[in-house]
Structure 1
């Protein structure tokens, strides 16, 4: 295991720097926008620009790599990303920030895909699961580190934006200086959402709702914290605690879903989400202990629901269709992230910052309600056709290349070999 991690250390280091810059900018930009007095809807437009460009990059970047190669595209994307952060300080205007944030979204998605394609070349079916888990841990840690950099500076000055650009520039060095050969061309996105819906309506609708929830939280959670007077360290803790809650509870929630109808677990997750939002709406931020406990409670379902959707969709797919199914869900999720901030941003402008949790509660209720309705319409798949649950990334900021890296992309993953069966028999 240690040798496997060592072989991809430079790629993991690039991932860490890339996502640290992403975590820093994702918290810094909304906080600065609130300080400028911009409306919540204007801030949601900035988030939508990011989501549109991120999703478009999943389709465009593979074609760019085919033309000029991995190294050149990665160098160009990280340069554009650093430029986008510096442009935020040169022109402070919401309309311009929509465009500069879109540049960052396009670059981050492309950088993800290239790093993940390199990682995919380095792994084997034997160590794929372990390295995927390490990759997820590095990603989540980097985002939290980036968020906690904000309290060390003043969002109203250019300094933190410069730090963000510097960290982003550091991401290019481990990869460009690596002696590893360039990997195979990136995965071309292939998806048929209508066919995917016919195969698994609960997974497609659930993914849309998961995208609405995650994008509303990720884009406007910092706005909520700033508008209610939380310090930057408290705001970073709010985001981090929810992420930690998701990291802790993904595994037990997933294991339960492997043993019963996943739609019942979806119902449970939706109900927990509604209760967590109701606690926050009832108590607000005055009592910090109750507030942060509510964030931990919310996080237990905020992150895992996307992974539940992927597992449920693959319960109805052939083993060799995992990449295609997952890519389709990722694009579906990306479309939802374009809309979630807009809906919630309008609600927050009309009804105040607490409309964030009211909106998320409605999305969670719809998530549970649709899963319950689907149970009445269709039997769960046979046990032998069900896939395994596997925890995905932080707020599912994933690309189709992530599906290639996922151990479930190997059709034989999870199957017992004859030798394994003999060992199991001997043990009993």
Structure 2
């Protein structure tokens, strides 16, 4: 079943991998370029936070685009918007312009993630949701690592690195636009307010908020922290790549474990170990660079899978038609955490508290650990749901014909049901004493 699902969305996974490469390049590229241009730590933190503000707004737009034009067309339009915003940042080096363009980039990328993750969650069930999301995130993290390595050979002070990002975003359109992948047939998605999710799955919302704050701190300010402790630009790219590589390698094993054991236990273990590694990293300097790479890789292995674990845990308690709205709500909450995270740690660094960078991340990770353990005492593990309610069609030359046949059959059955209901009403009306 899982292999069939992966084949059915192979073009989607290829496209999102290329998007991951671009995201990996962009955050580090802009952080390094802002340092070269002497933007200042606080200004850089505010500029980087614009991405997450846009990320927040994009989550509300994506479900509307899915309903209005479908998954594939929405993906294409948003990817083109992201490519344009990257090129404008290369042409016009100014904090205000960068803030606006980072907002647009975050808007487009977040909407793309909502589209992709909604698509994946709709086709998954509780027995394989953690595994499927882990495969998706392994590809994302693989792209992020590749992006860091590409940035190592492209000068952040020049135009070429920006042009390469825009080129890869445009290439990401090709697999999904020219494939014959059939979009999932879903019910009209229900709106899922954040307040309802807090009551239904509080751990999922808490995890999204805290961990996205940690991610925004690391991606936005991590390169500047690495330079502060004495790493070169090449070492900074390896520092960031080690973090992402650790998360990529751990993603699938941890996802498999979460499908077999209570996800909350796995979340608590990952968050606790991540806090330990953050504490170790806070004590290391540039003289121990290979130890830094090792520890930051282990740190990424612990904390990066927490997003997919929280998402899978949340969807365990939802119906199929709630998943699009819930995905947007979760990413929206994470966006709020991201908006707070990067400027907060940038302000600390601006006022001399640079050494508290990893200690703050440690404290946040411990909060997730303790709350996960608490929730285990408050609620039983989610029961396995039935398989997805729609039939997945693998990409083939006859997919469109088969889809048309299924639609025609569905319409025929609906007509027959309506006729039967009408005949039943007519018979009831002819009986004595039947209501008028």
TM-score (norm 2): 0.75
After the TM superposition, which residues 177-216 of structure 1 pair with which residues of structure 2 at under 5 Å, given as runs?
A: 177-180=178-181, 190-216=191-217
Q: 1:74 to 1:275 in 2, by over 3 A?
A: closer
- Matches of 1:260 and 1:10, distance apart in 2: 31
8 Å contact 2:31–2:221 — kept in the other structure? yes
Contact map agreement 1:57 1:106 (CA 8 A) in 2: yes
Measured in 2, the distance between the counterparts of 1:350 and 1:141 equals 35
In the alignment, which residue of structure 1 is the partner of 2:307? 306
How far the C-alpha of 1:184 sits from its partner, in A, is 5.3
Is this contact kept in 2: 1:58–1:189, CA < 8 A? no
User: For residues 250-306 of structure 1, what are the alpha-carbon distances to aligned partners after superposition, in whole Å with 9 as ceiling and x for unaligned?
Assistant: 455566667776655544434323321221121223211221121122123211223
Q: Which residue of 2 aligns with 1:381?
A: 379
Tell me the residue number matched to 1:410.
Answer: 388
Deviation at 1:173, TM superposition (A): 2.5
**Aligned: 1:32 with 2:19:** no
Structure with bigger gyration radius: 2
Alignment of 1:82-161 (within 5 A): 82-114=83-115, 133-161=134-162
Q: How big is the shift at 1:87? A: 0.9
Tell me if structure 2 keeps the 8 A contact 1:192–1:328: yes
In the other structure, the counterpart of 2:232 is 231
8 Å CA contact 2:271, 2:303 repeated in 1: no
Name structure 1 gaps, 5 residues minimum: 388-406, 413-428
User: Counterpart in 1 of 2:346?
Assistant: 345
Q: Secondary structure at the match of 2:155?
A: coil
C-alpha change, 1:227 and 1:411, in structure 2 (3 Å) is: farther
> Shift of residue 227 of structure 1?
3.2
CA contact (8 A) 1:283 1:291 kept: yes
2:298 corresponding residue in structure 1: 297
CA gap 1:249/1:215 in 2 versus in 1, 3 angstroms: same
Tell whether the 8 Å contact from 1:114 to 1:186 is kept in structure 2 after alignment. no
Measured in 2, the distance between the counterparts of 1:231 and 1:84 equals 28
Cα separation, 2, equivalents of 1:176 and 1:143: 23
TM-score in terms of structure 1 length:
0.77
**Number of residue pairs aligned between Structure 1 and Structure 2:** 387
